[in-house]
Amino acid sequence: MKRSALAIALAAVFAAGPVLAAPTAAPAPTASSDAVAPGAWDLRPLYATPAAWDAERQAILAELPKLAALKGTLGTSAANLQAGLDAVSALRRRVARLGVYASLAADVNTQVGENQARNQRSDAVANQYGEAVSWVTPEVAAIGADKLHAWVAATPGLAKHRYMLETTLRLAAHTLAPGEEALLAAAADPLEQPADIYRLLTNADLPWPTITVRGKKVTVDQEQYVALRADPDPKVRDQVFQAFWPVYKAYERTIGAVYAAELHGTVFQAHARKYASSLAMAQAGDNIPEAVYTTLVKEANAGLPTLQRYFRLRSQLLGLKEARYSDIYVPLAKPSRTNYTVAEAEALTLEALKPMGETYEARLAAGFKGNWMDSNVQRGKKSGAYMNGAAFDVHPYLLLTFNGDYPSVSTLAHEWGHAMHTVYTDSVQPYETSDYSTFIAEIPSTANELLLADYMVAHAQSKAEKIFALSQELENLRGTFFRQAMFAEFELEAHQAAERGEPITGEMLSKMYLELLRRYHGDAVHIDDLYGIEWAYIPHFYTDFYVYQYATCVSAAAYFAEGIGQGDEALRARYFKMLESGASADPYELVKAAGVDLASPEPYRAVVRRMNRVMDELEALTTKK
């Protein structure tokens, strides 16, 4: 996921965009022992102890009045503008680091109240910071384009702030008066509450059922659901689905109300900032053409025959008369390994990514040895996987739950793609232009997954291994392109319903989602009414208009992975230039300069063609005698 886990109260300082909760970051141990437990990360590079963290928190709070005292000085001279922006940026850097530590500790075990309290204190600091500097954007906008351009050209110290200043000018029409900006900044905390409530409810409070699988009792929580939905026994899969999804269904009204609050908060901000829609606001901050979003949805729908061909091929190879939703995750062939260790997964990832070059390989190997990642299976740990690189002065941190199967290996390669993106950006960019956009963030992570898939196909030792590798690539394309495009379509419809003033309820959202499920899967997969509740399982919906970027990024990643894998050195150079560019220019333009125009249909059609080619290869392989 995106590098920054800091509340977007900070981002709002320099952009008239939404005040939202960004994707949460990863966890942290609190033990004072010098030893780092196997599979855990070491948070001491951030702060030596929790007490040191709290001392820094209090020091930051003491600095906030100094920022407020700068109000009214930015437009008086280029020197004062530089001094003011440097001070704002320096404290933001410290607030970000504070937030990384707190969020990591909170996520490693959501049931520990002390960690949750620390995270809330960190959020409060971020919000107070946002309020303290809420005057900056309107004051910068008031300077005017001509004077700002002249000052930047004549003042080397403003170079690192250039892109932020240009963005501020571009968004000036959506920047409010200082008092109104302060009000929106103060609203950041309540606007973050739906995401916080959802996270705690679904990670700590849902009553997970227990079932018996082959004589053993299993608690079907989120992690076990992911593990067991791929079970080879269709009876077990059905048992798991029938146990897991009714839990969410029982909370349909509650989670529906939580998501409605999220939607209404976004619509409120869009209206307050005079955007035509929530989508327009979401795209404005990074200056991404809305055509990227709408073209993706259109092309995904045009490619549904390919998706449904995949489901029919699965049914044929699995010998299913009728595929059910509980059948879509079962592998088409048994993997040769189901007990990878983390060390083995790291070694495999290094081999698969050799086309990236020696420098990339060396940096990745150093990260593997640096205790950057928490990979342990632990009850109460935040579900999912992500990377957090928001602490600029420290290496990135990664969270995942490593189960030993191939998807865990692929997830590891994915998250380290994020980490290496951060490493490359931070090696070139100053802090002010290091927080790269999500629009680019999922490209290097997904490129890693695709290179790993290509490696597994090329090095398959048997027909069964090759079938497994090809099927994993197909599943990756299904999940990253078509599934995320479906999520994007759901998000767009939900926001549009809120904008029209329609009542938003859990029942209504389930109906909307069920219709999309059935359209995307067609008559190739039977979808029970129960599975309309799946929207309530997706945490990314609490970072509005985020998931579509998985689909756009896999389209770009497929282009880069194919070329780099074939040894195209010029393409690799453009790829690394994109990674090193951070937030120094509009992300859409950075990707376009590297060779991919994501506002055009072609990248999405290429992904569909790739999926068809892989299916052709799989069909040829499985029909051989």
Query: Over the stretch 412-432, which tens digit does the pLDDT of each residue have?
Result: 999 999 999 999 999 999 999
pLDDT at 334 over 90: no
Residue 26: what pLDDT?
A: 34
Task: Tell me the C-alpha distance between 444 and 18, whole Å.
Answer: 26
d(CA 395, CA 572): 24
Give the pair of three-digit tokens for residue 205: 């409070």
Q: What is the pLDDT of residue 555?
A: 96
- What pLDDT is recorded for position 625? 61
Mean pLDDT of 157-177: 94
CA 144, 150, 153, 155 dihedral sign is negative
Please determine, for residue 538, whether its predicted confidence score (pLDDT) is greater than 70: yes
Separation of alpha carbons 155 and 174, rounded Å? 27
More confident residue, 464 or 85: 85
Query: 597 vs 97, 319, 543, 560, 571, CA distance in Å?
Result: 34, 40, 24, 13, 15
Please choose, from the candidates 225, 462, 425, the residue with its C-alpha nearest in 3D space to the C-alpha of residue 335: 462
Q: Which residue has the higher pLDDT, 335 or 190?
A: 190
- Give the β-pairing of 397-399 and 373-374: parallel
* pLDDT greater than 90 at residue 616: yes
Residue 2 in this model has a pLDDT that exceeds 60: no
Spell out the alpha helix ranges (H) of 210-277.
222-228, 234-250, 252-272
Summarised one tens digit per residue, pLDDT across range 444-456 is 999 999 999 999 9
Of 30-44, 173-187, 288-302, 362-376, the poorest mean pLDDT is in: 30-44
pLDDT of residue 20: 29
Spelled out in words, what is the top-level CATH class assigned to the domain 11-199? mainly alpha
252 labelled catalytic:
no
Sorted by sequence, the CB contacts under 8 Å of residue 480 that are 6+ apart come out as 446, 449, 550, 551, 554
Q: Note the pLDDT of residue 19.
A: 32
Confidence tier at 182 by pLDDT (50, 70, 90): confident
- Local confidence band at 22 (pLDDT 50, 70, 90 cut-offs): very low
* Mean pLDDT, rounded, for 193-209: 94
* 13 band by pLDDT with thresholds 50, 70 and 90: very low
Q: What are phi and psi of 459, to 5 degrees?
A: -110, 15
Provide the b/e sequence for 387-422 (b: ≥16 CB within 10 Å). Answer: bbbbbbebbbbbbbbbbbbbbbbbbbbbbbbbbbbb
- Distance between CA atoms of 169 and 176, rounded to whole angstroms? 13
Residue 21 pLDDT grade (very low, low, confident, very high; cuts 50, 70, 90)? very low
Q: What are 581-610's pLDDT values in tens digits?
A: 999 999 999 999 999 999 999 999 999 999
Is the pLDDT assigned to residue 107 strictly greater than 80? Answer: yes
Q: What is the pLDDT of residue 9?
A: 35
For residue 35, pLDDT beyond 90: no
Domain boundaries defined on the chain: 11-199
Higher confidence at residue 546 or residue 15? 546
Q: What is the percentage of the chain residues whose pLDDT exceeds 90?
A: 84
Angle at 206 between CA 202 and CA 212, to 5 degrees: 120
- Among 56, 299, 415, 491, the one annotated catalytic: 415
In whole numbers, what is the pLDDT of the chain averaged over residues?
A: 92
Alpha-carbon span 208 to 227, nearest angstrom: 15
Residue 431's CB is within 10 A of a number of other CB atoms, namely 16
Radius of gyration of the chain (CA): 24
Task: Identify the band that residue 378 occupies on the pLDDT scale cut at 50, 70 and 90.
Answer: confident
pLDDT band at 23 (very low <50, low <70, confident <90, very high): very low
Residue 24: pLDDT over 60: no
3-state secondary structure 268-302: HHHHHCCCCCHHHHHHHCCCCCHHHHHHHHHHHHH
Question: What distance in Å separates the CA atoms of residue 396 and residue 419, rounded to the nearest whole number?
Answer: 6
Cα 106 to Cα 81, 199, 388: the distances in Å are 37, 11, 14
What is the torsion angle, in degrees rounded to the nearest 10, for the CA atoms of residue 330, residue 333, residue 336 and residue 340?
A: -20
Distances (CA, A) of 349 to 339, 343, 405, 530: 16, 10, 14, 38
Q: Which of 278-282, 331-335, 348-352 has the lowest mean pLDDT?
A: 331-335
At 34, the amino acid letter reads D
Q: Is the dihedral of CA 75, 81, 83, 87 positive or negative?
A: positive
Helix (H, G, I), strand (E, B) or coil at 397: strand
The reported pLDDT for the residue numbered 14 is 37
Q: Is the pLDDT assigned to residue 243 strictly greater than 90?
A: yes
Residue 219's H or E segment, with its range, is: strand 216-219
Nearest partner of 49 among 26, 35, 29, 24, judged by Cα: 29
Torsion of CA 474, 480, 485, 487, to 10 degrees: 120
